[in-house]
Amino acid sequence: MEAIEVTGLRKTYKNREAVDGIDLVVARGEIFALLGPNGAGKTTTVEILEGHRRRSGGDVRVLGEDPGKAGSAWRTRVGIVLQDAADAADLTVREMIRHVGGFYPEPRSADEVIELVGLTAKSKSKIRTLSGGQRRRVDVALGIVGRPELLFLDEPTTGFDPEARRQFWELIRKLAGDGTTIVLTTHYLDEAEALADRLAVMADGRIVAEGTPATLGGRSGAAARVRWRTADGVAHDERHEDPTELIHRLVNTGVDLTTLTITRPTLEDTYLSLIGEAR
Ligand SMILES: Nc1ncnc2c1ncn2[C@@H]1O[C@H](COP(=O)(O)OP(=O)(O)OP(=O)(O)O)[C@@H](O)[C@H]1O
């Protein structure tokens, strides 16, 4: 059974199709990223999958059930990392995690969760005294304390410093390695590339491309850009479908290969052209 199966999902707000008939499958144990510009329909889609928003049409199965009708047993199998879930709390980190863990049948221990999110040094601090990035770690802790089979993360690393982002990525990989299915929305293309097994790009309520980070939008087959400088200092810049033959030729003509660079479009290049085409 897949973790998520969606066919023909639609959501209409007044006259506006925020989600305009999307199909989506997320396999168990997969890390799936949903990308797209502001207003594309990502949050609406994810909130429907979480059971927090009604759909206008289509079929949705999440862990085998319709989230619009599923009960509390289903809810304990799904983890949601909300932005600022823990913000106003006057509790300590450990108290808050234990408190929320109490709502689940088989919670992780507070110590395990605190260690996983890297908050050991802050476990006895009141949440309101934490920095923004540290509070986001508490949000993540609250999302995973119930040992979810499926975890939704909405722009999880906004406000993290670079080291905290890398630590968070490690945590996500670890959770996925233990079999947790992960669905994340992000505006960071490097994050999607580092984490996602598969990703989909939404624009204007539709999915405009879907694939692995390496193949999205024909990326792997896109022409490579080859640049080099000849001994007389002249710069060359060419595009080639298959640069191997060109490189052989350059080697045979004695080009200084220390000046040679070969680049493919980055995920960001591909994403921006997909979004541009969708407009
Ligand atoms: N409660 C609502 N009532 C009316 N329109 C809404 C509502 N929620 C969202 N919309 C509209 O639906 C569209 C999709 O919004 P959504 O929040 O799903 O986009 P998003 O891809 O998550 O954007 P962002 O990257 O900015 O979070 C937008 O045009 C938004 O204005």
CA of 40 to the centre of ligand 1 (A): 7
Mean pLDDT lowest among 84-93, 103-112, 140-149: 84-93
CA of 13 to the centre of ligand 1 (A): 9
Predicted confidence at residue 220, as pLDDT, reads: 75
Which token pair is 193?
A: 């590339």
The answer to whether residue 166 sits within a structural domain is no
Mutate to test the pocket of ligand 1, among 44, 47, 202, 271 (most ligand atoms within 8 A of CB): 44
Per the CB < 8 A criterion, the answer to whether 142 and 86 are in contact is: yes
Q: Is the pLDDT of residue 30 over 90?
A: yes
Q: Is the pLDDT of residue 78 over 70?
A: yes
Which token pair is 158?
A: 């906004």
CA of 44 to the centre of ligand 1 (A): 6
Name which residue leads in pLDDT, 188 or 160: 188
Mean pLDDT lowest among 17-31, 89-103, 211-225: 211-225
Predicted confidence at residue 119, as pLDDT, reads: 93
Mean pLDDT of 247-268: 85
Q: Is the pLDDT of residue 82 over 70?
A: yes
Which token pair is 89?
A: 């709390």
Q: What percent of the chain has pLDDT over 70?
A: 97
The Cα–Cα gap between 96 and 102 comes to 10
The Cα–Cα gap between 114 and 137 comes to 9
Q: Is the pLDDT of residue 2 over 70?
A: yes
The answer to whether residue 47 sits within a structural domain is no
Which residue, by CA, sits nearest to atom 4 of ligand 1? Answer: 13
Q: Number of structural domains, the chain?
A: 1
H or E segment to which residue 224 belongs:
strand 224-229
The Cα–Cα gap between 228 and 261 comes to 7
Mean pLDDT of 141-145: 93
Q: What percent of the chain has pLDDT over 90?
A: 61
Kindly give, in sequence order, each residue whose CB lies less than 8 Å from that of residue 253, ignoring residues fewer than 6 positions away.
none
Predicted confidence at residue 4, as pLDDT, reads: 98
DSSP secondary structure letters along 186-205: -S-HHHHHHH-SEEEEEETT
Which atom of ligand 1 is least distant from the CA of 47?
18
CA of 145 to the centre of ligand 1 (A): 29
Mutate to test the pocket of ligand 1, among 11, 43, 55, 153 (most ligand atoms within 8 A of CB): 43
| DSSP one-letter code for 82 | -
CA of 39 to the centre of ligand 1 (A): 5
CA of 36 to the centre of ligand 1 (A): 12
Mean pLDDT of 217-241: 84
Mutate to test the pocket of ligand 1, among 42, 55, 184 (most ligand atoms within 8 A of CB): 42
Which atom of ligand 1 is least distant from the CA of 205?
14
Query: For all residues of the chain together, what is the average pLDDT?
Result: 90
The answer to whether residue 245 sits within a structural domain is yes
The answer to whether residue 237 sits within a structural domain is yes
The answer to whether residue 76 sits within a structural domain is no
Q: Which letter, b or e, does each residue of 6-45 get, where b requires 16 or more Cβ atoms within 10 Å of its Cβ? A: beebbbeeeeeebbbebebebeeebbbbbbbbeebbbbbb
Which atom of ligand 1 is least distant from the CA of 37?
25
Which token pair is 31?
A: 């890390």
Predicted confidence at residue 88, as pLDDT, reads: 60
Per the CB < 8 A criterion, the answer to whether 107 and 147 are in contact is: yes
Alpha helices of the chain — where are they, by DSSP H? 42-49, 72-75, 93-101, 110-116, 132-144, 162-177, 189-195, 244-252, 267-278
Angle between helix 132-144 and helix 93-101 axes, rounded to 10 deg:
20
Per-residue model confidence as pLDDT tens digits over 39-55: 999 999 999 999 999 99
In this structure, what are the phi and psi dihedrals at residue 59, rounded to the nearest 5 degrees?
A: -110, 140
The Cα–Cα gap between 52 and 42 comes to 13
Which atom of ligand 1 is least distant from the CA of 155?
27
- What is the domain extent for residue 228? 223-263
Kindly give, in sequence order, each residue whose CB lies less than 8 Å from that of residue 21, ignoring residues fewer than 6 positions away.
8, 9, 10, 57, 58, 205, 206
CA of 266 to the centre of ligand 1 (A): 27
